[in-house]
Structure 1
Amino acid sequence: MIHAANSFALSVVSSIPSPSVSFIDLGPLRIHFYALCIIAGIIAAVLLTNHRLTRRGAEPWVVIDIALVAVPLAIVAARIYHVLTHWDFYFGPGADPLTALYIWEGGIAIYGALIGGAVGAWLGCRWTGIRFWTFADALAPGILLAQAIGRFGNWFNQELFGLPTDLPWGLEIDSDNAAFPPGLEAGTLFHPTFLYEVVWNVLGVAVLLWLGRGTRMQWGRLFGAYLAWYSAGRIVWESIRIDPSEIILGLRTNVWAAILGVVIGLAIIVIQKRRHPGFEPSPYVPGREWAPEGSVQSQNTDDFVDVSEPQSDDVPASTATSSVATK
């Protein structure tokens, strides 16, 4: 009886099946699950970032004003980065250059999204008056959550998987899939790198939320922690992926990007700690403060008295006893 139960349990987890479909048709409209995963990730990031930014004293939903600029630039830059790092796939012999525009088929690079999104976020913050680093710290857990959700799009597309494996959680890939490596037998299992990254990212969300409590990780330091955490995991997952990629000095381009991400993340933490040893007194730059209903604006434009909401955990204990929050 026990042996039979163990055998059944082993057979249940002997592999991870891939979805048999990656889209649905609603009349003339084709909806790709990849796109739905990306959209779901964006929504989750916006909701979590809005909650965190509002707790810091920002106007509710100001994150949407910033996202209207940041998200489109992130998507465009993500696609451009992917195409540039997979040049032969789109512009090599026998390739169709028009497929570089087929973003619904998959192929957006997270590091490209970070570059484009950072530019868009900076512009959005200039527009709204939010401090860029305040927004970056508020966004850090949300963007990692969005990346975890978005990775399920790779699962639906049966793409970006790892080396062959005989582990119980090996990923099934259809042998007629264009990404299936030639020369391997049908039924070969592969490392589910999408799942590894999902688990790593969700764990990272919990770590960042914990680190973000209080004031010790402000002025962009929490974003630096995000960049270092995500990139450290990406070095591992990227090293076992077998999808085509440009190779530089024996390493995939995204491995180099991940190494650079770790370095930049740690540099942000160290540099911002030295530049800003104190805490962020306001999410707004001087002169752009938002006074919620029930607040009393003081003579000094750098100070406001908030009588409508209790102080959040992000304000040090020394100021939590006072009704004045100093920027």
Structure 2
Amino acid sequence: MKIVIIGLSITSSWGNGHATTYRSLVKALTSLGHSVLFLEFNTPFYAANRDLPHPSFCELGVYDSFKSLQSDFSSNVQNADLVIVGSYVHDGIQVGEWVQRLAQGVVAFYDIDTPVTLARLKSGNCDYLSPALIPKYDLYLSFSGGPILDELEDKWKSPNAKPLYCSVDIDMYYPLSLEKKWLMGYMGTYSPDRQPPLDKLLIKPAETLPASKFVVAGPKFPSEVDFPANVETIEHLPPHRHCEFYNSQRFTLNLTRSDMIAAGYSPSVRLFEAAACGTPVISDTWNGLDSFFTPNQEILLVEDTEDILVYLQDLLPEEAVKIGKNARKKILKHHTSQIRASELVLYTKEIINR
């Protein structure tokens, strides 16, 4: 198939999880024999922080305005078998209307932020998707599964709402025999709703265990966030260093945005990446998590500081290693980028055949 994706960014992973998601999916689509053109708006912040300016696995188009998108790429959109518009795309409503008018193939919306999008739609504050656009997309691809898919079809009138969860490029995420520099680490962009659980589940344990080393990697943390001396901070880690990062921890912490917790069935790309490396994951809890990983066998779930201290201090090393290995097996069976690309192709072919 000829596929066009208009997404937030594939060239810069700074401050967003979209880039790694698109990279793994597009690379897998290309390996399956499809041709992909990825189009992204020339956002100044991402333009200044591009860690993959020239992806080798797809054609790239960077546009400066909606007008230039139309003038430069209309024929590509018109002739594609599948056109995907992603969440948080600049002028996304205009872009969606244009794609729906022009494209002759299947038109899909890929929502990497489904609970946030629906909350914005309800408040009338969504600038990349409107209620009127949803029924006109042939396919609504959602980062969240479970009941939210029924809501998309029943309330918002999507003709086809399907899960397309994040995935892992297993060429980039795998176990390594490295020194465990940190007892536990966390990777994620700062957000106000995730800071209280980070305080509770990493900063307080670090204060309780001053002889142990911890790490937090992610941009946009304000200066008023007070990390203990035994917590190393890294502003940004490019994706090619993620594997080493996860493999250098005895445990990794997964924290979920409040909107995603409320919706449930919303695994993060960092959760899958860490599991693919065989690093034991300690996570907050949300509905549907047990449909991705079996608690106590493939993942460790906590609610407060005392819970996490029990695992950090008392869990036998061989038990932790076993949990990490079990989680990696689950990733390889259900959540690789190859599997996700095949799911997307299947969804598209069902619509074409129908």
TM over 0.5: no
Structure ranking higher in strand proportion = 2
Whose Rg is larger? 1
Tell which has more relative contact order, 1 or 2 (C-alpha 8 A, sep 6+): 1
What TM-score do you get using the length of structure 1 for normalisation?
0.27
What TM-score do you get using the length of structure 2 for normalisation?
0.25
